[in-house]
Structure formats: structure tokens, C-alpha cells
Amino acid sequence: MPKVTAQGKTFQCEQGSNLRKVLLENGIDLYNGNAKTINCHGFATCGTCTVQVEGEVSAPNWQDKARRSLPPHSPTANRRLACQTQVLGDVRVTKFDGFWGEGSQTVWTPEG
């Protein structure tokens, strides 16, 4: 089973699991600030579940690309919507600042 490392924790999930669900089920602070309550619950419309992912995951789908093409996101930034990403192998996840996770400062890294 793939291992996910985020915010100082490492846990396993089924191959093909939804990254947003895996992170939330394991108590990871996926959302910044008020985005914890104001988010689209995985429908690719709010853009606040954005993270940087290293490792084997599904290719970005059109919803992921479309939402990240809109400000404040940038289509060229190395980010993904967790809610549109499937875990295919071991992954390491980093969260950046800003309401949408669009910033340049890390909020947490794989190590903590």
C-alpha cells in the first residue's frame, strides 16, 4: 500500500485513494484558516485544497487544471488540487500559505 507523508505523519492508504480524503482522515490540516469550513468538499470549485505533491499520483484531470488556471492560482505553479488527485505510490505532501494554499511560504512540510 502507498505511504503518504504529510505534516510530520506517515500513513498508508489504498492505491488509487483520493488524496483529500486520506489527508483529512489522518488529521492533516489540509485547509488554511477559514477554508477549513468554507470549502467545496471536493468538487474542484473552491481551489483551497491545493498542495504540492512529490511522488506517484494521477495525472492532473481537467477540473484540476481548470481551477488552478484561475487566480490566485497559477497554472505553472507546482501544485495540485488534493481533491482531484489519486495516490498511486508513496507521496510526500507540502502545504503553502494563503487562503487557497497559493502562497510561497510553507505552512507544513512532509516532516512537520
* Segment interacting with ligand FES, rule: CB under 6 A, options 5-13, 40-48, 70-78, 91-99: 40-48
Pair type for strands 9-12 and 80-81: unpaired
Q: Which residue spans within 27-82 are E strands per DSSP?
A: 50-57, 80-81
Asked if omega into 72 is within 30° of 0 (cis), the reply is: yes
Stretch that binds ligand FES, among 1-9, 43-51, 71-79, 90-98 (CB under 6 A): 43-51
Note whether 84 and 61 are within 8 A (CB): yes
Q: Does 13 bind ligand FES (CB under 6 A)?
A: no
Element (H, E) at 10: strand 9-12
- Asked if 91 interacts with ligand FES (CB under 6 A), we say no
Indicate whether 66 belongs to the interface with ligand FES (CB under 6 A): no
Q: Which residues bind ligand FES (CB under 6 A)?
A: 20, 39-40, 42, 44-49, 67, 81, 83
